[in-house]
Amino acid sequence: MKDLKEQLVEWRHYLHEHPESAFEEVNTAAFVAEKLREMGIEVETGVGKTGVVGTLKVGDGDRVIGLRADMDCICLQEAADLPYKSQTPNRMHACGHDGHTTTLLGAAKILSESKDFSGTVRFVFQPAEEPGHGSKAMMDDGFFERFPVDEMYGLHNMPQYPAGTIAVREGGIMASEDNFTIKIKGKGGHASAPDVVKDPLVTAAEIICALQTIVARNVTPTETAVVSCTEFETDGAHNAIPSNVVIRGDTRSFTPEVSKLIEERMGTICRHICEMNGAECEFTYTHEFAPTFNWKENVQYVIKAAKAVVGEDKVVENCAPLMSSEDFGRFIQEVPGCFVFLGNRRDGEEASPLHNSCFNYNDDILVTGAEFFAELVRERLPKV
C-alpha cells in the first residue's frame, strides 16, 4: 500500500497534467468524486455547476465543519519542463489549486480512515475561484441550505513563506476586488487641429491622475486601499485624435465602507472631469471578490491546530494581509471561519511567484496541509 505522501504526490501530478479552468472542471470533479467515494464518503456533484461536496459523519456529534479547496486552473501556457507538464494548451495550475485539491483529498483520506472525531465534515471542492464566481455559484445552488455548516476553513499556498509555515491573522487577510470601466466620448479629429475637437485622451489622463487622490486624500490613512488603472483603449491613430477612450482597472480594500467610498468618489471624479472638458462619461463599477475576513475565535482554533502539526516556531499568528483576493471570502461572510496561508518556498530556492508560467506546487507540503486540516477537525469535533 502506498504511504500518504506517495499517494498525494501521484494525485497532484495527475491534476497538474490535466488542468481545467473555471466551470470547466468536469474531469477534475469526476476525479475528486471517485476518490471520495473510494474512501466511503457520501458525495454530491454538480454543486454550483462543477463543484463537489463530500460528507463524512462520525459518531453522534451534531456540529458540522466545512473544509474548502479550489479546483480551477488559469489560462496560461506552462513553460516549466516537468514530466507531468500540462497536456492542455493555454491551461496550467499556476496558482497551486492542484495542490489545494490534493491536500483536501488527503485530509479526507486521513479522517475517513482514523474516524477520530465526532460530528460531520464537509469536504468542499469549489470551481471557478480564479474569476471569483465559484463560491457564489455554489451558494446560488443552495450550498448552505443543502449542506449546512457551522464553520468553514480554507488555505492557500504562499511562496513568500518557508515550506510548512502556517500564517494567519484576525480580520482582513485578503482584500476585496472591484472592477471598473470608464467610457469617455469626445469629438475626434485631425491631430493638427486640437482646437476643433473635444480630446478624450486629455480627459482620460486627467481622470487617471485624479483617481489616485482617492487613496491619498479620501480613504482614512489607517485603512488600506488600492486603485489601479490597468487598460487604456482608443479609436485614434498616430495623426488622429480619437473620439472614444476606455479605461479599465480594479480596486482593492478590506471593508464594504471603503469599497463604497471608492465607487462614489470614482463616479464623481469621472463625471465632473468629463463635464469640464465637454465630454460624455459612462462609468460602471462591479464587485467581484468579497474581502476575506477571518473571525477572531476561529483564528485561535487554527493556531492551536497549526502548532500541533508544524510546531510553534512555524506558526505566524499575525501575518501581513495581502491585497490580492480570494473567493473563499464569501463563504465566511455567511458563517464563522478562517483562511490561512501555507508556506511553500523550498530551502535554498528562490520561490516562483503565483500565476507564473514556471510555477510548480511543492509536493513536500501536501501532507502538512492534509494533517493540518485533519487536526483542525479533531480540535473542533472532539470525541466525548
Binding site membership: which residues? 95, 97, 130, 156, 355
Complete DSSP assignment for 231-278: EEEES-BTTEE-SEEEEEEEEEESSHHHHHHHHHHHHHHHHHHHHHTT
- Active-site residue, from 24, 25, 129, 151: 129
Residue 288 and residue 139 in contact, taking contact as beta carbons nearer than 8 Å: no
CB-based contacts of 196, cutoff 8 Å, min separation 6: 189
Q: Which three cell numbers stand for residue 328?
A: 473563499
Query: What is the residue whose three cell numbers read 495527475?
Result: 14
Collapse the DSSP code of 3 into the 3-class scheme (helix H, G, I; strand E, B; otherwise coil) and give the result.
coil
Q: What sign results for the dihedral spanned by CA atoms 56, 61, 63, 65?
A: negative
For residue 182, give every residue at least 6 positions away whose Cβ sits within 8 Å of its Cβ, in sequence order, or none: 204, 207, 246, 247, 248, 266, 270, 281, 282, 283
Annotated binding site for Mn(2+): 95, 97, 130, 156, 355
Residue 113 appears among annotated catalytic residues: no
Residue of 72, 151, 326, 375 with catalytic role: 72
Torsion sign (Cα): 362, 368, 369, 370: positive
Q: Tell me the one-letter amino acid at 195.
A: D
Catalytic residue flag (residue 72):
yes
Q: Any residues with CB less than 8 A from the CB of 89 and at least 6 apart, and which?
A: 77
Cell of 1: 500500500
Q: Which residues pair with 187 in a beta bridge?
A: 198
The catalytic site residues sit at 72, 129
